[in-house]
């Protein structure tokens, strides 16, 4: 039985990883990597973090 990947992968993200479709990404075990690349984690500013550490 074929497992269907349900992550909302964009065409642009699949193209960036040279994948034809969502099923190919899942079969190669790369669906989570593709999903993560299209939804990067927010970047925290370095200065406020340094101030937090200093304040402790």
Q: How far apart are the first and last CA of the chain?
A: 54
Phi/psi class of residue 29: alpha, beta or left (left: φ > 0; alpha: ψ in -120 to 50)? left
Nearest CA among 18, 5, 1, 9 for reference residue 37? 9
- Tell me what pLDDT residue 41 has: 75
- What's the pLDDT tens digit per position in 27-38? 888 888 888 888
DSSP per-residue string spanning 6-24: -S---HHHHHHTT-SSHHH
CA 46 – CA 50 distance, rounded (Å): 6
- What's the pLDDT tens digit per position in 6-54? 888 889 999 998 998 888 888 888 888 888 888 877 776 666 666 666 6
């Amino acid at each position: 039985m074929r497992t269907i990947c349900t992550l909302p992968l964009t065409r642009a993200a699949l193209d960036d990883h040279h994948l034809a479709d969502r099923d190919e990404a899942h079969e190669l075990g790369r669906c989570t990597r593709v999903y993560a690349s299209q939804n990067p984690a927010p970047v925290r500013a370095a200065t406020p973090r340094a101030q937090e550490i200093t304040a402790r």
